[in-house]
Amino acid sequence: MNLVILGPPASGKGTCSNYLKEKYNFNHISMGDLLRDYAKQDTPIAKMVNDTISSGKILDEDLTAKILFDYLQKENLFDNILLDGYPRGLKSVELMTKFLKIDKVIILEADFEVIKSRVLNRLSCSKCGKAFSKIDYHDSICDECGAELIRRSDDNIDVLNTRMREYRDLTIPVINYYDKLGLVYRIDTNKNFAEQLDKLMEMVK
Ligand SMILES: [Zn+2]
C-alpha cells in the first residue's frame, strides 16, 4: 500500500510521517529532504534547485518527478511507500501515475496561526533533519544524533506566505482530484493526530 501525505507548511507532515514509519514500517520519502539532498550536489541543475526551493517556489514538475523516479529505482522501492509533500501540482500527479500507484491520500490540516508559530519557532538538525520547536526544546544539539540544530533559511514569513499561496493555487486542485476518486482522508493536526492515523490504518488494512 502506498500513501501520500500532503498539507500546508508545518502542518505536521514530519511528525505524522515518523509516527506511520515507526508504527507501520512505511518507507518514508520526504520530497523536501530528497530535494534538499539533491540541491547539495555541485552541478548547475542542483544550484537551480537550491535557489528555487529556498525561495519557497515550486520546482519544475518534470524535474521533480524525475528526481523521485530515479530515487525509487535506485532504492528499489515500489510498495509500502509513504510519500511526504508530493505531488504538489496536478502535472506531478499525471507524471507520477505512470510509475507509482497511490492508495490513500492523507491531508493534514492546521490553523494558520498554529502554522505560523510552528515555522517561526522551528529548529532542524543539521545532520538527520529532525525538527524541534524552540518553545519546548531548549538544547542546541539534536537528541537523536547529537548534531547541531540550525534554523533552516527557508523558515521565515516571506517563504511561508509564498508556500501558502503555492499550496492554495497548486496543491488544493490535487486534493480535489484525489477527493473525487474517494482517496482523501483528513487529519486535524491541532488535535491528537496519532488516534486519527490509527483509525485510518484500521480502515485501509
Ligand atoms: Zn539529528
* Helix pair angle (61-75, 31-38), 10° resolution: 90
| 82 assigned to some structural domain | yes
Q: Report d(CA 104, CA 84) in Å as an integer.
A: 12
* Ligand 1 center–CA 169 separation, angstroms: 33
| 90 assigned to some structural domain | yes
Q: Report d(CA 53, CA 93) in Å as an integer.
A: 19
Partners of 107 in beta bridges: 6, 186
CATH number, domain of 170, equals 3.40.50.300
| 141 assigned to some structural domain | no
* Ligand 1 center–CA 141 separation, angstroms: 8
Partners of 133 in beta bridges: 122
| 96 assigned to some structural domain | yes
* Ligand 1 center–CA 120 separation, angstroms: 19
| 49 assigned to some structural domain | yes
User: What pLDDT is attached to residue 89?
Assistant: 93
CA distances for 98 relative to 69, 91, 101, angstroms:
10, 12, 8
Q: What does the pLDDT look like over 155-193, one tens digit per residue?
A: 899 999 999 999 999 999 999 999 999 999 999 988 788
* Ligand 1 center–CA 151 separation, angstroms: 13
117-121-124 Cα angle (round to 5): 130
* Ligand 1 center–CA 190 separation, angstroms: 25
Query: Sorting pLDDT into bands at 50, 70 and 90, what band is 32?
Result: confident
User: What pLDDT is attached to residue 152?
Assistant: 86
| 170 assigned to some structural domain | yes
| 116 assigned to some structural domain | no
Question: Which position has the higher pLDDT, 99 or 203?
Answer: 99
| Contact (Cβ atoms closer than 8 angstroms) between residue 118 and residue 132 | no
CA distances for 53 relative to 3, 24, 39, 79, 151, angstroms:
23, 30, 9, 28, 15
Residue 134 has pLDDT above 90, yes or no: yes
Averaged pLDDT, 78-82: 93
| 57 assigned to some structural domain | yes
Residue 205 has pLDDT above 80, yes or no: no
* Ligand 1 center–CA 131 separation, angstroms: 9
* Ligand 1 center–CA 148 separation, angstroms: 8
Query: Sorting pLDDT into bands at 50, 70 and 90, what band is 203?
Result: confident
Mean pLDDT taken over the chain = 92
* Ligand 1 center–CA 133 separation, angstroms: 14
Residue 142 has pLDDT above 80, yes or no: yes
* Ligand 1 center–CA 179 separation, angstroms: 36
User: What pLDDT is attached to residue 129?
Assistant: 82
Q: Which domain holds residue 94?
A: 3-111+161-204
Query: Sorting pLDDT into bands at 50, 70 and 90, what band is 77?
Result: very high
Task: Look up residue 68 and give its amino acid.
Answer: L
Domain total in the chain? 1
* Ligand 1 center–CA 124 separation, angstroms: 8
User: Can you say whether residue 25 is alpha, beta or left, with left for phi > 0 and alpha for psi between -120 and 50 degrees?
Assistant: left
Would you call the peptide bond into 173 cis, given omega within 30 degrees of 0 as the criterion? no
SS3 114: helix
CA distances for 60 relative to 21, 28, 52, 87, 162, angstroms:
28, 22, 9, 12, 16
Query: Sorting pLDDT into bands at 50, 70 and 90, what band is 153?
Result: confident
* Ligand 1 center–CA 156 separation, angstroms: 21
User: What pLDDT is attached to residue 35?
Assistant: 93
